[in-house]
A and B are shown apart, each in its own frame.
Chain A
């Protein structure tokens, strides 16, 4: 069949199995299993499943590639794994082992040819997806594979994992692996899973089986996103940028790695609009992971709080719009904050000042020094080295730190930030730069242990960038959280986020957001998608916190 040059659609070569795989309707084989025939079908079903334990037979059953059952390969993998070689590749199968920053192994062509397509067909028709959405991730997840009686192939796949892959992995890794948990994950455009170590209880080895049998996407390109991204970590086991290794989704490839205090990874944002990133993934479980216990004692670096600046006295009257200096205004603001715990003051600074500050931040100058704020499992945005601030930016910085500001905020909020009742008022100030891929996640660095007053001020605001959400202290995180512990990923977490959202700040130029945070309130800044248009350039945020 000819195609014109303008059409990208080349009909796939039909292979022999084509006619037995129906993609529009439920596959015929599955239908036979599903029908609750009265003629003794249920017994036949059980028989077929038990057969696969010993010898996977018919074409429709999930079957491992023979090569992975060969002794030489097993021994090669064993040796590569324990030697912790930096990088090595096995010639016959293309299997790869990386030792740095932690052990990870890639096995291409895990199942016999054509089976990933059958699995995708079953997943497309049968799997129910639930949306997982929190600071750390946005993606779809299925229920556990052990809970899918109507998905014959997926159930089959689980049996293969349990009966064949698990004992084999025990040999390769030398670890005791008692049971496996698995579910399907799907990431569509804009979805991601931010960096984490997977440490939880008895997880020993994490695995991912990639399903992407579609023409044009059998192995994903960088432009399509969705890579498994591996992070190095520092001496304190905090993950650091930049990403050390990227593993692109590749059809029928099986990846696994040892879960430990350094196994930091993320699923990079899927940026293609054309293909979903589909996997079967989970963990092999064994002994309680020692690293898990040690990990819970690590604390995040925290913001620096300083007393008010008594030296620099920036002129409030020249910077702020007059209305905010009027005492009647202050009373109204106070009332609002008392009622709502927050307020947004539009056009806080005089327009010319705002414009000057903005253009100074935007100008490509050599004087302003930015550095990336980490660690990667807490933050990814740029922070200004405040000693390089000049001009209007320096003016604003001094203003926020000044005694006059503490006074003003006391008037706005009735907090003891100044005056005779003030104990030891302090503030921290950050000037941040936000662009694609930036985020903060909930973490202990951002839990306020005492009542705090947050100020958030935007310059060069754009929709969808640097959007901050505050969550109430009642929000139940999916798992127990020891103080100082990093967030954890569970295969089936509960998303309490929606019920506990206190406030979401929408970026508006020259608007000062004031938020009174009571003890235990957390906040995060939503991941900025690579597809979010930032036509005006990066978004700048002056973020301040005041304590009594």
Chain B
């Protein structure tokens, strides 16, 4: 079903071979999700942790992992920072990050945002975002910035695990508007690093919310108990994506010819025609004028 000429080139291997520029939208049978790891993790580590999860969702979704550009500050002030431990930004002026910190700036946030924008553009197309802990906080912020048209990232859905609202003043305006895209919020009832109330506060920023609670702590759960929820969520998102694609195609078709001519009795028929003309999803503009 793809337009891709490269024979047998599965999307995952084209990813492995480096970020190939994909100039045209490809029709694939899965939704693609960009994944943002948590504090002190990195792309590969996060990918490994999500092995079972990725298997559950593999029929409907494909996941791409990147690493944050900043190295997290060392845990002990006397120790060296570990290059594999990454951070999307710091919220204290000693270069550290804690979900519960309150402060003004978000040091290094812009650089991370640009990296995600670049990845969204060059390794796309993507439809969704997924994040854990600091990554989930980041996903929440990106959704807000996207709503305000302050970024080129356009998530159609998101998965936020053990997320929380940013305590940095600079992020306040990202939470001004309620987010309407479908989201799945996951958190542990016994999470001591990010208490569930914090994840619930983040979920309250969204309108179209599915909550998945688990009995554990601060990790991304992927047991038999969560399996069906994940499958359903991505199945629904894939369906929405495919329906949207179909609408795109038909939206560019030529107009409905009116049945009768100028007769008076044709009021209804022409109302329908006008309705089709005037109420048709004006989504043509966003994905380009494809004529």
Contacts and interface: CB of A to CB of B under 8 A. Distances in A.
B71 A4 contact: yes
A1 B262 contact: no
A273 B104 CA distance: 11
Given A9-B107, A272-B110, A346-B280, A327 B273 contact: no
A338 B111 CA distance: 51
B150 interface: yes
B185 to A, nearest CB: 24
B285 A9 contact: no
A217 B173 contact: no
Contacts of A6: 69-71, 83
In the complex, which of the residues A124, A129, A273, A458 has the most CB atoms of chain B within 10 Å of its own CB atom? A273
Interface in B239-291: 255, 258, 260-263, 266-267, 269-271, 273-275, 277-278, 280, 282, 284-286, 289, 291
A532 B148 CA distance: 8
Contacts of B110: 272-274
B170 A275 contact: yes
A351 interface: yes
Contacts of A327: 262
A514 to B, nearest CB: 10
A2 interface: yes
A344 B262 CA distance: 22
B73 interface: yes
A328 interface: yes
B95 A344 contact: no
Contacts of B94: 9, 11-12
B273 A329 contact: yes
A9 B90 contact: yes
B74 interface: yes
A458 to B, nearest CB: 8
A328 B266 contact: yes
Contacts of B280: 346
B104 A531 contact: no
A90 B59 CA distance: 71
B274 A274 contact: no
A276 B291 contact: no
A516 to B, nearest CB: 15
In the complex, which of the residues B104, B106, B173, B273 has the most CB atoms of chain A within 10 Å of its own CB atom? B104
A28 interface: no
A527 B148 CA distance: 12
B150 A532 contact: yes
Interface in A426-469: 458, 461-464
Nearest to A277: B170
A12 B93 contact: yes
Interface string A272-287: 1111101000000000
Interface stretch (A66-74, A183-191, A377-385, A391-399): A183-191
A182 to B, nearest CB: 19
A326 B71 contact: no
Contacts of A217: 105
12 contacts: A1-B74, A1-B77, A1-B78, A186-B169, A214-B105, A323-B258, A331-B270, A346-B282, A463-B149, A464-B149, A531-B150, A533-B152
A469 B78 CA distance: 57
Interface of A: 1-4, 6-12, 23-24, 120, 124-125, 129, 131, 133, 138, 140, 186, 188-191, 214-217, 272-276, 278, 321-323, 326-329, 331-333, 336, 343-347, 351, 355, 458, 461-464, 506-509, 511, 529, 531-533, 535
B95 A276 contact: no
Nearest to A273: B110
Given A509-B284, A532-B149, 13 more contacts: A8-B111, A23-B93, A23-B101, A125-B102, A131-B173, A189-B150, A273-B110, A329-B274, A336-B274, A507-B285, A508-B284, A509-B289, A531-B151
Contact of B172 (A125, A140, A351, A531): A140
B130 interface: no
B221 to A, nearest CB: 29
Contacts of B152: 533, 535
Interface of B: 69-71, 73-74, 77-78, 80-81, 83, 89-90, 92-95, 98, 100-111, 113, 145, 148-152, 168-174, 176, 255, 258, 260-263, 266-267, 269-271, 273-275, 277-278, 280, 282, 284-286, 289, 291
A532 B285 CA distance: 16
A113 to B, nearest CB: 16
A9 B255 contact: no
Nearest to B78: A1
Nearest to B269: A328
A344 B174 CA distance: 30
B102 A24 contact: yes
Contacts of A355: 289, 291
Contacts of A11: 73, 77, 94-95
A131 B174 CA distance: 12
Contact of B70 (A9, A511, A531): A9
B224 to A, nearest CB: 40
A251 to B, nearest CB: 12
A345 B277 contact: yes
A538 to B, nearest CB: 14
B104 A275 contact: yes
Contact of B150 (A140, A333, A462, A529): A529
A294 to B, nearest CB: 37
Contacts of B93: 12, 23, 214-215
A458 B148 CA distance: 20
Contact of B270 (A125, A329, A347, A508): A329
In the complex, which of the residues A125, A275, A507 has the most CB atoms of chain B within 10 Å of its own CB atom? A275
Contact of A326 (B89, B101, B113, B270): B270
A346 B278 contact: yes
A188 B170 contact: yes
A133 to B, nearest CB: 8
B104 A278 contact: yes
A3 B81 contact: yes
A431 B181 CA distance: 35
Contact of A346 (B174, B258, B277): B277
Contacts of B145: 189
Nearest to A24: B101
B23 to A, nearest CB: 13
A4 B149 contact: no
A274 B107 contact: yes
Given A7-B73, A131-B176, A508-B282, A214 B266 contact: no
Given A463-B149, A509-B289, A331 B70 contact: no
Contacts of B255: 321-323, 347
Given A188-B172, A278-B169, A346-B277, A533 B70 contact: no
B286 A275 contact: no
Contact of A7 (B81, B101, B170, B174): B81
